[in-house]
Amino acid sequence: MTERGHANVDIPLRTIDLFCGAGGITEGFRQAGYVCLYGIDVMQEAIETFQFNHPNAVADCRPIEEVDPEDVRFRLGLQPGELDVLVGGPPCQGFSINAPERFLNDPRNKLFRHYERFLEEFQPKAFLFENVPGLLSLGDGKVFRQIIKIFTALGYQVSAKILFAAHYGVPQERWRLILLGSRFGEITHPEPTHYAVGRANFRGGSTMTFQLSKEDQERLLPAVTVRQAIGDLPRLAMGEGAEIVQYSTEPHSEYAKSMRNPMGITFNHYAAKLSKQNVERMKYVKPGGSWRDIPFDLLPKGMQRARRSDHTKRYGRLHPDRLAGTVLTKCDPHWGAVFLPDQDRALTVREAARIQSFPDTYKFLGSRVSQYEQVGNAVPVLMARAIAVQIREHLEGQVSRAELRREQERGVVGG
């Protein structure tokens, strides 16, 4: 047999990436042996980053509403059913529990319909649809149920789970809703490889996440900490660094070794200057601390009115021996914990990318503001890779058995 997808045929599985951004999912799938044929995103600088790091993929920068999936399929030379995996997820701002307003008629919440159009046209063997857990509670679950109904009607068996990035070696508290679909049966989500615990304060937090026990702590690898993730990168004062820098020390952890560029350089490691007010505020914040450590008269007026239980991460300093908080699209202390544990400055783009598990070879293009946005919007690479491996194992088993059954029915092979 030489059919694509058979377990004994060493042919890379092929993907296309919708709403690809800078390419976090595609990078994870690349590391798992896949080849991306096409990526689309409306953000120009993100597409430039995607194209630079995945030069063999077609990079399309335009609104997905303007794209005809049939034209894309013809351009790629694929027949319906030949694509292995469709990956991606629409922008999540309309679904986020942090959004100030969450209306069912938010046009961003309808972008999944364009994902549906690609599913209908390409009829891939499997798909990955990712989003924020807030999607589960939007409209009291109406949008989520509608998405599942649509995907099921297209012939896919759909499984849904909320994954914690730290369970896959990502040094960060980040939750993502992951829907996996297949034409050949259920795809189970990848089991955790690392022991970590995070607050799942959203719908589905107790029923759709992996619940780890004390026994799991003994058998799994420990979570990767902030120190292990970024402690080997060159130390900088505010205003120091460059878009290309050389390493100044040896890697100090297994994680650092796995992230290092063998060429001895990395990118996007520049320490921005902070305002005088934030420099003064930063002095009072201890590792693991936040705005609560800052004297009252130094707080912004709005924060002076905040309750002590509010805005837990604002003006925070990362703790070296814990996970980082969710990497945000802005490296602004007013939004989260961006101060370094042992350096009086904020995270560089490279440090944020390390926390997102991008390898040091991955270069981000565009303005520095855009680079932070690209990193913050990405799916963590190591989590994407774990999912990619799980899908590959599913396809190598299920697709092979399905093809074997078809050939048995045609009398090609013996029963």
Judgement on whether residues 254 and 109 belong to the same structural domain of the protein: no
Which domain covers residue 212, as residue numbers?
14-219+380-406
Query: Is residue 391 included in any domain, yes or no?
Result: yes
pTM to 2 decimal places: 0.91
Taking alpha carbons only, the member of 203, 209, 205 closest to residue 95 is: 203
The catalytic position among 20, 36, 61, 92 is 92
Judgement on whether residues 128 and 256 belong to the same structural domain of the protein: no
pLDDT higher than threshold 50 for residue 5: no
Q: What is the mean pLDDT of residues 86-99?
A: 66
Judgement on whether residues 394 and 354 belong to the same structural domain of the protein: no
Position 47 confidence tier, pLDDT thresholds 50, 70, 90 = very high
Q: What is the mean pLDDT of residues 41-49?
A: 98
Q: What is the mean pLDDT of residues 294-310?
A: 88
Judgement on whether residues 204 and 307 belong to the same structural domain of the protein: no
Residue 212 exposed, middle or buried by CB count within 10 Å (0-12, 13-18, 19+):
middle
Please check whether residue 18 is in contact with residue 115, taking contact to mean a CB–CB distance below 8 angstroms: yes
Q: What percent of the chain has pLDDT over 70?
A: 88
Judgement on whether residues 120 and 186 belong to the same structural domain of the protein: yes
Query: Is residue 126 included in any domain, yes or no?
Result: yes
**Predicted local confidence at residue 105, as pLDDT:** 56
**Predicted local confidence at residue 54, as pLDDT:** 98
Query: Is residue 95 included in any domain, yes or no?
Result: yes
Query: Is residue 6 included in any domain, yes or no?
Result: no
**Predicted local confidence at residue 142, as pLDDT:** 83
Q: Where residue 78 sits, what CATH number does that domain have?
A: 3.40.50.150
**Following DSSP, what letter does each residue of 211-228 receive, concatenated?**
---HHHHHHSEEPPPHHH
92 included as an active-site residue: yes
Domain count, the chain: 2
Judgement on whether residues 84 and 158 belong to the same structural domain of the protein: yes
Judgement on whether residues 53 and 191 belong to the same structural domain of the protein: yes
Q: Where residue 314 sits, what CATH number does that domain have?
A: 3.90.120.10
Judgement on whether residues 371 and 397 belong to the same structural domain of the protein: no
For 154-169, how does the pLDDT look when each residue is reduced to its tens digit (9 = 90+)?
Answer: 999 999 999 999 999 9
Judgement on whether residues 88 and 143 belong to the same structural domain of the protein: yes
For 118-132, how does the pLDDT look when each residue is reduced to its tens digit (9 = 90+)?
Answer: 999 999 999 999 999
Q: Which of 171-175, 302-306, 337-341, 343-347 has the lowest mean pLDDT?
A: 302-306
For 180-212, how does the pLDDT look when each residue is reduced to its tens digit (9 = 90+)?
Answer: 999 999 999 999 999 999 999 889 999 999 999
The separation between the first and the last C-alpha atoms of the chain, rounded to the nearest angstrom, is 15
